[in-house]
Amino acid sequence: VYLKAIEANGFKSFADKVDIKFDSGVTAVVGPNGSGKSNITDAIRWVLGEQSARTIRGVKMEDVIFSGTDTRSEMNAATVKLKLDNQSGMFAVNNDEVIITRKLFRSGDSEYYINNERSKLKEIHELFLDSGLGRNAYNIISQGEVDTLLKARPEERRTLIEEAAGVMKYKLRRKESEKRLTETKDNLNRVNDIIKELE
Ligand code: ATP
């Protein structure tokens, strides 16, 4: 299990600090409509560096900050922490656990941390680049996408599964290597021609 827990505070409907722990195996989140189930996946996308408010069902980024209810006033900042297991060393940090934090203030200021150290968004992207995880990878399949997946042709479905499994980057590297191989073969042929001419 890579994702160990999510801690959210002031993010969307999570006004109070919530700590959601994930065990090994499958975790199901159940609850009535509008109770905040999708806000959990929004929180994950957000910490992974999502920059589009629309993707996490907002209009502007500030919409992720708890906006208050009849009995509770709005909050000034949203914080989400993602705790990931790193015993396998999948992430390039010297620690058994990676904690990624994103914080956004109503003023628009935003902060990122990797294991409590202030970081840049770019460093978070780099951390996930080779892990098969990340904001653009198919780790999070939303309601509409389930339908797409079921209706997809076998080849299309295979592409989605390969993306989720992190096979894509190997396919890309293979293509690059094949191209280099072809170029090298061409060069070799040319050299052989020149040798023949000289003989
Ligand atoms: P469904 O089963 O209908 O998809 P759900 O359990 O996935 O529902 P969510 O869509 O995650 O529910 O939660 C939506 C709730 O979050 C709404 O009640 C909405 O008012 C609340 N919400 C979203 N953004 C904020 C915010 N910034 N401040 C306070 N509440 C918010």
CATH number at residue 100: 3.40.50.300
Is 131 annotated as a binding-site member?
Answer: no
In a domain, 33, yes or no: yes
Is 80 exceeded by the pLDDT of residue 95? yes
ipTM for the complex shown:
0.93
What per-residue confidence (pLDDT) applies to 180? 97
pLDDT tens, residue by residue, 58-81: 999 999 999 999 999 999 999 999
For residue 143, give the ligand 1 atom closest to its CA.
4
In a domain, 171, yes or no: no
In a domain, 71, yes or no: yes
In a domain, 16, yes or no: yes
Which domain does 108 fall in, by range?
A: 3-133
Average pLDDT over residues 116-134: 81
- The CB of 12 under 6 Å from ligand 1? The reply is yes
| Number of structural domains found in the chain | 1
In a domain, 177, yes or no: no
Is 187 annotated as a binding-site member?
Answer: no
Which pTM was predicted? 0.76
Nearest to 79 by CA among 123, 47, 49: 47
In a domain, 121, yes or no: yes
In a domain, 40, yes or no: yes
Nearest to 96 by CA among 2, 190, 29: 2
In a domain, 167, yes or no: no
